[in-house]
Amino acid sequence: MGFRDLAYRLYERRLEASLSGKAIPRHVGVMCDGNRRWARSAGHTDVNKGHLKGADKIFELLQWCKQSGVEVVTLWLLSTDNLTRPRQELDPLLLIIEDTVNDLIDEGWHVNPMGALDLLPDHTARVLKHAAEVTSHNPGLLVNVAVGYGGRREIADAVRSLLVDHASKGTTIEQLADAVDVEHIAEHLYTAGQPDPDLVIRTSGEQRLGGFLLWQSTHSEFYFCDAYWPAFRRVDFLRALRSYSERNRRYGS
């Protein structure tokens, strides 16, 4: 081990020790951004090299979250906007996502797909639905896999589901208008029954939400990291947790 590696390990341990007794987020949302830019910066002409490297990083992150006591992780892997990418990039990316989800199944994680699955190719949608079915009783960390996900689409889907649900019970529009509130809509979100994200991390240096968990992130703390997603390190994750632990969460009070 070289001096640089030793220094890194010591710093990592110091960061970890600084979190002892501090508040740890129950739910962490991660915008896994920068795969293509990482590939280009590494000299690859095929951006799927970045997507593959980014897929490997997911499993490292989940172990870090498990070790830290995080209960829910939401990974944004593909947005509704990403579905407009050229087929020569999108098709291999969807295969990488399918392989990643199958690996999550094999490793025993509790997988919850979220997104507009009807916009995805049939095979990809089937893989995601299968993951939800076969891992639904797995204990431990819950992994939300956001594929074909958009925050506005989620809210629209929630309202649509709410209307259909009440229509099936014979509720009139007037009755629904009088009764509907924030909690009713939240019950129909992709994350229904889960705690809202306490911490949202975005990699690659971009400082915007881009539609990620628009409804749920009202009171979330945000951490923006300059590293591209494939280069995201445990020390970066620990820094995000340290930043979170140092904030005073007032929830508007």
Catalytic entry in 56, 82, 103, 144: 82
Strand stretches in the chain, DSSP E: 27-31, 72-79, 110-114, 142-149, 199-202, 221-224
Tell me the chain's radius of gyration from C-alpha atoms: 19
* DSSP-assigned letter for residue 221: E
Catalytic entry in 33, 48, 112, 198: 33
* Cβ–Cβ < 8 Å for 141, 63: no
* Cβ–Cβ < 8 Å for 237, 202: no
Amino acid, res. 253: S
Amino acid, res. 8: Y
In the residue annotation, 33 being an active-site residue is answered as: yes
Residues designated catalytic: 33, 82
